[in-house]
A and B are shown apart, each in its own frame.
Chain A
Amino acid sequence: MLKKLLLLAIVIASLAPLSAFAAETKFQQPILLTTAGQSVDVKLAGVLLDRLKVTFTSNAAATAADLKGFKTLMVVPGYSSKGLGSAGVSREAELTRVRSLLAAAKAAGIPVLAVHLGGKARRGVQSDDFNKLVAEAAATVIIVDQGDEDGFFTQVCAGSMIPLKPVKNMAEAMKPLEEVIAK
C-alpha cells in the first residue's frame, strides 16, 4: 500500500511541472489590447507594453471584427462607472461586447491574456463579473496580488488550470509580460 502511494506521489510530482509547462502559452504579436469594464487600467497596460516595445493596438471598444490580423487578445478587466459613462455604454452592453469578443477570439484560436492591474479598486460586485468572464477565457492571468487577496482569481484559475502570475505592483507586471509574450 505504502509503495503504491509513493508511486502515485512520484507520478503526480512528475506530471505537475509538465502540466504547468503545457499550460504556459507564448503570446504572439501583434496584440489587440482592450478593456472589460472600461476602466482606465487599460492605459496602464498600454504603458507596460510600450516599455516592452511590444507591437499592439489599443481599442477600448474592440469587437469580433477588430480581431482580424491579431495573434493575441489582451484584456484588462475592471469596472469603471466613469469609464462606461465616458464611453457612453451601459454595464450590460459592455458585458455583452466582452462576451462576444472572447467567444470570437476562442473561435478564431486567438489566445487571451488577462491582466488585472487595478488591485482592490477593481474588485467587488461591479467588477467581478468582468473579472470572472475574462479570467475564465484566458490562457494566462497576470494580476497585481492585491486584487487576489481573497483568492478570487486563484479559485477561478485553479478550476480551469489557468496559469496565474501574481505580482506586487503594476510596474512589476512587466516581468511576467516579458516572459509570456513572444519576441
Chain B
Amino acid sequence: MMYLSAGRQHLLRRRSRRTAWAGLLLLLLAFVWSVALAGGTGGVAATAHPLATEAANEILSRGGNAVDAAVAAAFAIGVVEPDGSGIGGGGGMLIYLHDRRQTVYINYYPQAPQDPGSISFSPTEERDTAKSALVPGTVAGLCQALRDYGTLPLPVVLAPAIRYAGEGFPVDPTLAGLLLDNMDALAKRPPLAAIFMNEGFPKMEGELLQQTDLAHVLELVAAQGPDGFYRGETAERLVEGVTAAGGVMTLADLAAYKPTMSEPLRGTYRGVEVVTAPAPHSGATLLEILNMMEHVQFEATDHFTSSSHDVHMMAEIFRRTYADRSQYLGDPRFMAVPAGGLISKAYAAERFAEINPYRAEPRLSKDVPYGFPAKFENRGPAAAARSDANRPQRLKWDDDRDEDPGSARQVDDPFDRWNQRKAGKGTKDVSTPATAPGTETKRNPGEGKKDDDFDGGSTTHLSIIDADSNMVSLTQTLGNFFGSKTMVNGILLNNGRVNFSTASPSNLIGPGKRPRSSITPTLVFRDGRPLMSLGSPGAGRIIATVAQVMVNIIDFGMDVEAANEAPRFFAQKFDEHLFIESRVSPAVIEELKRQGYDVRVLGDMDLYFGGVQIAAFKEDGTGFVGSADKRRGGTASVLGAKALETVPGD
C-alpha cells in the first residue's frame, strides 16, 4: 500500500468505503430476511420413517406451516412405509391453528360403499381380499386439510411423495423385516410381488423399492386434486380392479367420498388440557382412561411398571374403558354416541369405584362389564340418580373380535390361537411347507388357517409443530399390514371392512358408514399454551399406549424421549392376557400373576406396543423437542432457522 500513488490510494479508499456500505446493506438485508424466515420456518416433525420426516422438513424449510408439512409427510409415508398407510387407506388428522386458537378434527377414514350387503364377507376368512376394502379417504382428507388450513400448493407438498415413488428409495430395516414376515402373502399376489420382491425373494434392507404406478396416480392428484383419485382414470381402474377381485366399490361411491370435519373432544388430566379424536375414533376412550387414572395414587417409584399395584390399577382401567369403547363408540352420523357421559369426571369416578385394588376382578376380561355413561350425558347429579333406575339391560356378547384392526385378529392372533390350542380347540401347526412364489401355499391338513397374523404395529402416526405454534397430530392406516393385500394400479387398498363388528350393535356395517377405529391422534395444552402432539399406531393398543406415555410425562416427569422408551403393557376386555415388555422386573410380573392376570411377556422394546411419535415444546418455551419410538423405525427432527438436529429412532 505504501508504494501506491496518492490518487490510487484515494481510489482504493473510495472502493473500500463502497464495499463496506454494500456489505452493511447486505447484512441488513440478511437480517431482515432471517427475521422473516425465523417466523416462517422451523418446527419439529416426528414420523415413522426418515424420508417422511425429511419431507416434512423440506416443506417447513420452504415456509410451509404444520398442515403443509403434515400433508407432505402423510403422502410421503404412504410411499416409504407402504405396509402401514397410503392413498388406498384413511385416517384422522387433528389440527390446532395457533393464531385462531382453533382445533379441528378431520376424519378421512375409509367408508363403506352404498351397497355393502351386495357381497358376503367373512372378517376372519376374507380380510386379505378385495372384499375387505372400503372406499379410501386419504386423498380427500389430506387435500381438504391443505385447502382449508395449508398455505402451499398441492403439487409442492406432493413432490416428495412423487419423488420417492418414482425414483425409489432404499428399503429400511423395519420394512425389510415386514417383507420377510409377509413373504407368503406378497408372493401369492403378482402386483405386490412385482414391487416388494426380487427374483421371487422379498427385498432386503438397502434394496431399491420403486412404485411407478403409484407415482403416476400421485401426479394425477397433484395436477387435478382429489378428482385425480376419485374420478376419471384412477377411479375407473379402482372400481374395475376391486369388483373383478370380488369386492364392492362403484364410481358413485368414490365420487361421494367426503372427509368429515368435526369438533375434537376435550378433557383434562391433572391440570393439562387434552384434545383428541371424536367418535368413531377413540379419543373418548383415552379421556375416560385419563379421567379414571386421576383417581390412581401412583406409588413412589421411578415408573408405574416398577409397581404391580400401579400396573394392576391401570390394567383394570383399561379393561373397563375398552368394554365401554366396544359398547358405545360408533359412527356418530348413524347413531347417538354418549361421548359426554364417557368423558365425564363423574362417570369416571363411578367406574373407578368398581375396581378391586388388590386383584383382577372379574377374573376373566370377557366378564368385565361395560358401564352406563348416558346418565352423565349433559345432566346434573339428580337426573343421573333418577336414570339409575332405568339402566338398559346389559347385552351379552363375547366375540366382539372385529371391532378394530387389533382385535379383528383375535381368532387369528397367535396368542389367541395359543389359547385355543391349550383349550384343545385348535390344531397344531407343525409344518411349514416350502412354496414357490406365485403359487398358493400348500397347507397340511389341520395346519393353522393363517400364518401371517402377528401385525403388531400396522398403521402409522406423525406429529408436527411449526414455528408459529400450529400443531398437527395425524394417524393413518391401511388396517392390517399391507391392508387387504390387494393392489390396483399401484394403490394398496385398505381392509377397513374388518373394523366393522358383526356383533357390537354400535359398529355394524351400513351404507356410507365409517367403522370404529382405535386411532387416537391427540394434542396437549397447558395453561392455554400448546404443549405437545402425540399419537401411535398399534391397533387396539393405541389408546392404552398413548395414555401410558402421557402418564410418563405428566405423572412421572419424564422428558419425551424417556417417556417414549419406558416399558409398556396392555390389557383389555377382549383378550385374556396382560401383555408386558420384558424389561419389567420378574417380581412385578409374578405379583401380577398372583393378582390374577394371565401375563404374557413380550420383547424388551416390542413393536406390539405401538410406535409413538411425539412433537413438543420445551418446558421453558425456548424451542422444540421430538421423539420417534425406538420400537419402530423413524426419526424426530427439530428444524431451527439455522440448524437441523435429527434424532433417529431404532
Nearest B residue (CB) for A33: B434
The yes or no answer to B618 lying at the interface (CB within 8 A) is no
The yes or no answer to A88 lying at the interface (CB within 8 A) is yes
Interface string of B197-209 (1 = CB under 8 A from A): 0111110111100
Chain A 126-183 interface residues, beta-carbon cutoff 8 Å to B: 126, 144, 146, 169-171
The yes or no answer to A100 lying at the interface (CB within 8 A) is no
The yes or no answer to A43 lying at the interface (CB within 8 A) is yes
The yes or no answer to B398 lying at the interface (CB within 8 A) is no
- Taking a contact as CB atoms under 8 Å apart, the answer to whether B430 and A43 are in contact is no
- Taking a contact as CB atoms under 8 Å apart, the answer to whether B206 and A61 are in contact is no
- Taking a contact as CB atoms under 8 Å apart, the answer to whether A170 and B177 are in contact is no
The yes or no answer to A64 lying at the interface (CB within 8 A) is no
Contacting residues, chain A, for B180 (C-beta < 8 A): 39-41, 118, 121-122
Contacting residues, chain B, for A45 (C-beta < 8 A): 434
Chain B 172-210 interface residues, beta-carbon cutoff 8 Å to A: 173, 176-177, 180-181, 183-184, 198-202, 204-207
- Taking a contact as CB atoms under 8 Å apart, the answer to whether A171 and B198 are in contact is yes
The yes or no answer to B510 lying at the interface (CB within 8 A) is no
- Taking a contact as CB atoms under 8 Å apart, the answer to whether A61 and B173 are in contact is no
Most buried by B among A41, A46, A87: A87
Distance between B214 CB and nearest chain A CB, rounded to angstroms: 24
Known contacts A43-B435, A61-B430, A86-B448; A171 and B183 CB within 8 A of each other: no
Contacting residues, chain B, for A61 (C-beta < 8 A): 428-431
Whole-angstrom CA separation of A118 from B173 in the bound complex: 11
- Taking a contact as CB atoms under 8 Å apart, the answer to whether B206 and A146 are in contact is yes
- Taking a contact as CB atoms under 8 Å apart, the answer to whether B177 and A121 are in contact is yes
Contacting residues, chain B, for A87 (C-beta < 8 A): 429
The yes or no answer to B121 lying at the interface (CB within 8 A) is no
Contacting residues, chain B, for A41 (C-beta < 8 A): 180
Nearest A residue (CB) for B418: A88
Nearest A residue (CB) for B432: A60
- Taking a contact as CB atoms under 8 Å apart, the answer to whether B204 and A146 are in contact is yes
Main secondary structure of the interface of A (DSSP, over half): helix
The yes or no answer to A50 lying at the interface (CB within 8 A) is yes
Question: Number of residues in B with C-beta < 8 Å to the partner?
Answer: 44
Q: Choose one: A43, A88, A119; the contact of B429 (CB below 8 Å).
A: A88
Chain A 99-133 interface residues, beta-carbon cutoff 8 Å to B: 118-122, 125-126
Q: Choose one: B204, B437, B450; the contact of A121 (CB below 8 Å).
A: B204
Known contacts A39-B180, A126-B603; A119 and B204 CB within 8 A of each other: yes
Nearest A residue (CB) for B451: A86
Interface string of B585-605 (1 = CB under 8 A from A): 000000000000000001110
Known contacts A81-B603, A82-B452, A88-B429; A46 and B417 CB within 8 A of each other: no
Whole-angstrom CA separation of A140 from B437 in the bound complex: 26
Nearest A residue (CB) for B435: A43
The yes or no answer to A96 lying at the interface (CB within 8 A) is no
- Taking a contact as CB atoms under 8 Å apart, the answer to whether A169 and B204 are in contact is yes
Distance between B193 CB and nearest chain A CB, rounded to angstroms: 12
Nearest B residue (CB) for A46: B434
Whole-angstrom CA separation of A50 from B198 in the bound complex: 17
Chain B 416-469 interface residues, beta-carbon cutoff 8 Å to A: 417-418, 421, 428-437, 448, 450-454, 456
Known contacts A58-B434, A171-B198; A121 and B603 CB within 8 A of each other: no
Contacting residues, chain A, for B437 (C-beta < 8 A): 47
- Taking a contact as CB atoms under 8 Å apart, the answer to whether B417 and A88 are in contact is yes
Contacting residues, chain B, for A51 (C-beta < 8 A): 436
The yes or no answer to A72 lying at the interface (CB within 8 A) is no
Known contacts A88-B414, A88-B418, A146-B204; A44 and B454 CB within 8 A of each other: no
Whole-angstrom CA separation of A40 from B456 in the bound complex: 16
- Taking a contact as CB atoms under 8 Å apart, the answer to whether B454 and A85 are in contact is yes
Contacting residues, chain A, for B205 (C-beta < 8 A): 119-121, 146
The yes or no answer to A67 lying at the interface (CB within 8 A) is no
- Taking a contact as CB atoms under 8 Å apart, the answer to whether A120 and B603 are in contact is no
The yes or no answer to A49 lying at the interface (CB within 8 A) is yes
Distance between B450 CB and nearest chain A CB, rounded to angstroms: 8
- Taking a contact as CB atoms under 8 Å apart, the answer to whether A80 and B184 are in contact is no
Distance between A56 CB and nearest chain B CB, rounded to angstroms: 8
Nearest A residue (CB) for B606: A81
Contacting residues, chain B, for A35 (C-beta < 8 A): 432
Known contacts A82-B181, A126-B603; A59 and B431 CB within 8 A of each other: yes
Whole-angstrom CA separation of A41 from B453 in the bound complex: 16
The yes or no answer to B415 lying at the interface (CB within 8 A) is yes
Most buried by B among A43, A81, A119: A43
Nearest A residue (CB) for B453: A86
Whole-angstrom CA separation of A58 from B430 in the bound complex: 10
Contacting residues, chain A, for B453 (C-beta < 8 A): 82, 85-86
The yes or no answer to A36 lying at the interface (CB within 8 A) is no
The yes or no answer to A42 lying at the interface (CB within 8 A) is yes
Contacting residues, chain B, for A43 (C-beta < 8 A): 183-184, 432-435
Whole-angstrom CA separation of A121 from B175 in the bound complex: 9
- Taking a contact as CB atoms under 8 Å apart, the answer to whether A171 and B431 are in contact is no
Interface string of A49-77 (1 = CB under 8 A from B): 11100001011110000000000000000
Distance between A47 CB and nearest chain B CB, rounded to angstroms: 6
Whole-angstrom CA separation of A76 from B428 in the bound complex: 21
Q: Choose one: B176, B207, B417; the contact of A86 (CB below 8 Å).
A: B417
Distance between A164 CB and nearest chain B CB, rounded to angstroms: 19
Contacting residues, chain B, for A47 (C-beta < 8 A): 200-201, 434-437
Whole-angstrom CA separation of A126 from B607 in the bound complex: 14
Q: Choose one: B418, B429, B434; the contact of A49 (CB below 8 Å).
A: B434
Whole-angstrom CA separation of A81 from B631 in the bound complex: 14
A/B interface sample: 13 pairs, CB < 8 A: A40-B432, A43-B434, A46-B432, A46-B433, A47-B434, A81-B454, A81-B606, A84-B414, A86-B454, A119-B204, A120-B173, A121-B173, A122-B180
Q: Which 7 A-B pairs have the closest CB atoms?
A: A46-B434, A85-B414, A82-B454, A60-B432, A170-B201, A171-B199, A121-B177
Give me 19 other A-B pairs in contact (C-beta within 8 A), A61-B428, A170-B202, A171-B198 excluded: A33-B434, A39-B180, A40-B183, A40-B184, A44-B201, A58-B433, A83-B181, A85-B453, A86-B454, A119-B176, A120-B205, A121-B176, A121-B177, A125-B604, A146-B205, A169-B198, A169-B207, A170-B204, A171-B199
